[in-house]
Amino acid sequence: MEIERKFTITRLPDNLTSYPCHIIEQAYLNTDPVVRIRRQDDSYYMTYKGKGLLAREEYNLPLNEASYYHLLEKADGNIISKKRYVIPIDHPQFDTTYMSLPGFSIDQISLSVELDIFEAPFAPLIIAEVEFPNKEMAESFLPLDWFSQDVTNDPAYHNSNLSTQEF
């Protein structure tokens, strides 16, 4: 299961270039169900995603470079290019509902922000995504101070829907 929340942002974090960065290109063979191909740096994948906004099934299968480019020719809509910065969340905050659950230990929680800075034609779009091990944690997570609007439940911010936009 992929369990993630998405946010627009108010400002870029300090020292952005000090964090790991990946160059991503992805395209969609289908949007219902979602079948995506992705090049991330020098790795290639095909992904199937089930229905859902906050939580949904996700399966990744490795591809080789030749297979990726063969399938890229068959993709529909826009190819999405973006830089993804991976930023650890040093001290994630949660509402009291989650913190009071049996077995809760802040020391065992390791979360990070995947900050996607989109290239044309989607620039200046920037989305922050945070993935969680369970829905309760996701729903209780308190956004970082540089996050703006929670767009988790807005399908317009899903990359599969961005791929179908006309410019």
> pLDDT per position in the chain (167 positions), as tens?
999 999 999 899 989 999 999 999 999 999 999 999 999 999 999 999 999 999 999 999 999 999 999 999 999 999 999 999 999 998 899 988 776 667 666 667 889 999 999 999 999 999 999 999 999 899 999 999 999 999 999 999 999 999 999 88
How many beta carbons lie within 10 A of that of residue 78, not counting itself?
Answer: 18
**Can you read off the two tokens belonging to residue 152?**
């988790």
Whole-model pTM? 0.93
**Rounded Cα–Cα distance for residues 146 and 114 (Å):** 13
Distance of CA 72 to the CA centre of its chain: 20
* Residue ranges in the chain assigned as alpha helix (H): 65-72, 96-99, 135-140, 159-162
Q: Residues 6 or more apart from 24 whose CB is under 8 A from it? A: 38, 39, 40, 80, 81, 82, 83, 84, 116
